[in-house]
Structure 1
Amino acid sequence: MLTNVILLIILLVCTITDIRKRKIYNKVVFPSLAVAFAVGIISDGLSGFGASTVGFLVGFLLLLIPYIFGGMGAGDVKLMALIGALKGYEFVIESFIYTALIGGLLAVGVIIVRGGFKRSLGVGMPYGVAIAGGAVMALVMDVTFL
């Protein structure tokens, strides 16, 4: 339950800054990563640290290719890695699937608002919103949330 509250606070802050400034700040992500690893260690010792590490790596790797090809910002990659460190690899994979669906819907919205595909080329969108939405959907769909 504590990890869910921590996650929701982080997602709220990152969503606000991504919408307003188009940035997910390191001053939010890095301390939150320290908290995620600390929670893992406190709750499960060395295996908790291992679970946080695996979750971090899976989250990081899920968005690394889009980042390399310029389709994603570094903050987005770090946020997904943070979600994995806090909630584990299975949760971050589920979040990623919901994120992709929400991101696709947001992209369609941008195309509609811009008046067509050609007019929307090169227009970015705050993908942290999709990441936050995907993580919230994963929380809602997770029976252990209740």
Structure 2
Amino acid sequence: MLINVFLIVVLAVCVVTDLRKRKIYNKVIFPSLLVALSLNIASAGFSGLGDALLGFAAGLALLLIPYILGGMGAGDVKLLGLIGALKGSGFVLETFIYTAVIGAMLAIIVIIMRGGFKKSLGVGMPYGVAIAGGAVLALLMDVELL
């Protein structure tokens, strides 16, 4: 439960900074990663550390190609990695799927608001909002919370 509360707080901070400055700051991600590793070690010992590291790697891997192709910021990649470090590889995969759906919906809204697809080309979107939405939706769908 503590991990879920911490995740929500971090997501809220990242959404605010992504909306205001279009950045997800390392000074939020890196200390949060240390907290994630510590919480997982405290709850499950060294196997918790292994799960957290696997989740972190999975989160990074999921957005690595979009980042390399220039369609994603490094902060977005690290945020998904952090989510994996906090909640594990299965959760980060679920978050990724929900994020893709939310991101597509946000892209459609941007296209409509800009007056068409051609006018929307090259317009960026704060994808941290979609990632946070995906994580919150995954939390809400998580059986443990019910």
One-letter amino acid of the structure 2 residue matched with residue 50 of structure 1: G
| Pairing of 1:1-146 with structure 2 (within 5 A) | 1-146=1-146
1:120 CA displacement: 0.1
Q: TM-score, normalising length from structure 1?
A: 0.99
1:17 CA displacement: 0.2
Identity %: 69
Q: CA RMSD in A?
A: 0.4
2-side partners of 1:145 and 1:22: how far apart? Answer: 31
Task: List gaps (5 residues or longer) in structure 1.
Answer: none
1:101 CA displacement: 0.1
2-side partners of 1:145 and 1:79: how far apart? Answer: 22
State the number of aligned residues: 146
One-letter amino acid of the structure 2 residue matched with residue 28 of structure 1: V
1:145 CA displacement: 1.7
Name segments (4+ residues, structure 1) moved above 2 Å: none
Q: TM-score, normalising length from structure 2?
A: 0.99
- After superposition, give the CA deviation of every residue in 1:51-107 in whole Å (9 maximum; x if it has no partner): 000000000000000000000000000000000000000000000000000000000
2-side partners of 1:145 and 1:135: how far apart? Answer: 13
Task: List gaps (5 residues or longer) in structure 2.
Answer: none
